[in-house]
Amino acid sequence: KGPFHHHGRSTISSTRLLAMRDNNNENAHPNYSDNKNKNDLQEATSYYYATCLPGMQEILCKELMELDGIFISSEGGSNKGVAFEATRKGALRALIWVRTCHSIMERVCTVEYGIETRQDLYYFIQDNVNWKDLLLLNSNNKIGTLMVKAILNNYGATTPDSDLTHSHYTALTVKNALVDMVRDDTEQRPDVDTENPDVPLTIVLDRNGGATLYRLLHHPSSLHKRGYRAAADTKIHAAAMKESMAAGLLYMSGWDALIEDTRSSSDKKACLIDPMTGSATLCIEAALMAANIAPGLMRIRDNSYHQIPPVVRWKQNNDNDNGGENNVLSMWKELLLEARQAMDLPF
């Protein structure tokens, strides 16, 4: 997994870990939580990473474990997120139901060390990414629009002289590597779209010179934004609690368990008192939990970009035996319908 020189340029020897894996080899999977049925491994899975606020990873992990088609990895997590493996349907289900995450990303390729210069990063992308798998859409092999964001997790701590210590130029290097590959093969140049990209990408560098390329399943905006906040031209308190933080605190308080008790017995009642309401985030999130309203439904109601997320547009998702013209789009609509039917409204 370290760097080596090939044809006069610095390249990276790494295993490409893109999308559909060979699930016939059960030993290839990481350790899963005990509450999962091993029969679920019959379906193809991908590696994902869900991000959250620091300290919320245990709550996020529990949320993911409760969803079908998701298997928690014992490796690769941090205090800011959870690594997991999932079927495509499991990942879509997480996109609709998980309340404490900020983003859900599919891992494209990774290397443990050796990324020290822009050239290293450029050739790491070119040598480990199949641009057709990554950028083609399900509509007539159209090349999708892209956006690249860079996250530098203490990168430069051990290599302070590296030319990858600026997130803008790091993202630009990844974008250039992809654009050059497409242009060399097709003489076309993919467009960059910062508003609603078909393929939102995130490159993460760590302090040891490792790099991982992810693509977001959803619109680049954070998933903590449900859409019920005041309009953009209305001021919100600078210290307003994030929706994901409120949901996490409610889980920690046992509010979800109390709600379940009231559903199982008509004699029990649930009451939440918030004497310091402020922007009412805790109360609103508590009400959403009590009514079993998925946060994904709230985002779709507020923002059209979330109605058909990027993951539904990707071509490789539809190339399967069970498909139909757009299997993932059908799957997405089915899960949204299930979420609507699961709502427990008091009227």
- pLDDT tens digit string along 263-318? 887 788 889 998 887 888 999 999 999 999 999 999 998 777 888 999 999 986 54
Can you read off the two tokens belonging to residue 112?
A: 């443990």
b (16+ CB within 10 A) / e for 9-20: ebbbebeebbbe
- End-to-end CA, the chain: 58
The pTM for the full model equals 0.84
Closest-CA residue to 110 (of 95, 121, 98, 96): 121
18-33 residue pLDDT tens = 332 233 333 333 343 4
Q: What is the pLDDT of residue 268?
A: 80
Q: Pick the closest to residue 201 from 103, 57, 303, 315 (CA basis).
A: 103
Tokens of residue 261, six digits? 């008790």
CA distance 29 to 71: 9
Pairing state between β 146-153 and 101-111: unpaired
Which amino acid is located at 346 in the chain?
Answer: P
pLDDT of amino acid 305: 81
Residue ranges, the chain, pLDDT below 70: 1-42, 74-77, 139, 155-161, 230-235, 316-326, 347
Residue type, 73: S
Looking at residue 317, its pLDDT comes to: 52
Query: Could you state, in order of their start, the residue ranges of all structural domains in the chain?
Result: 45-216, 224-301
**So what's the pLDDT on residue 158?**
58
Give the model's pLDDT for residue 264: 82
The closest of 132, 147, 136, 128 to 193, measured between CA atoms, is: 147
CATH architecture of 45-216: 2-Layer Sandwich (3.30)
